[in-house]
Amino acid sequence: MAIRFHVAIILSAKEFPVIESGLNMKKILLAAALCACASAVSANEVAPVVDKQSCEKPVYPKAALMNEEAGTVVLSVLVGADGNVVDSKVEKSSGSKALDKATMKIYTSCKFKPGAKDGKPQQAWTKFEYVWSLT
């Protein structure tokens, strides 16, 4: 099955003075075409969706409270075709091992609507960002 797409971008040098040369315009059109192509290819894939009601309630770790630690954790979670968490890993640490571990505990306890490809459930990675704040 062939996927066809058409990208039309109309830019004016008056509206966008940064575009001074044809080279810059070519780069912009190429980037737009690549984005359109990427979205067309992944249109038949659906990412996993978390059921927030099923997750453990976040509990600020005592050690992190005592040390006044705060930060943002970026976590990747591998969700199986059955909607259960298969694996997880910290992509970006908050700088606190206690907060990173607590974030993993929250999201590994969740149930998910699994990802799908061509309408069939499949194992897929998804990312979360959790912010721990003392205020």
Computed over every residue of the chain, the mean pLDDT equals: 78
Supply the DSSP symbol for 32.
H
- pTM (predicted TM-score): 0.65
Separation between Cα atoms, residue 52 and residue 76, nearest integer Å? 16
Q: Are the CB atoms for 54 and 46 separated by under 8 Å?
A: no
Cβ-based neighbour number of residue 71 at 10 Å? 17
Which tokens in the block code for residue 89?
């890993």
CB contact burial 72-98 (16+ within 10 A = b; e otherwise)? ebbbebbbbeebebeebebeeebebeb
Phi, psi of 118 (to 5 degrees): 55, 35
The pLDDT value given to residue 128: 94
Q: Are the CB atoms for 78 and 123 separated by under 8 Å?
A: yes
The tokens 């505990």 sit on which residue? 105
The pLDDT value given to residue 16: 38
Which tokens in the block code for residue 118?
């061509």
> How would residue 50 be classed by pLDDT, with cut points 50, 70 and 90?
very high
Cβ-based neighbour number of residue 66 at 10 Å? 9
Separation between Cα atoms, residue 86 and residue 80, nearest integer Å? 6
> Tens of pLDDT along 67-96?
999 999 999 999 999 999 999 999 999 999
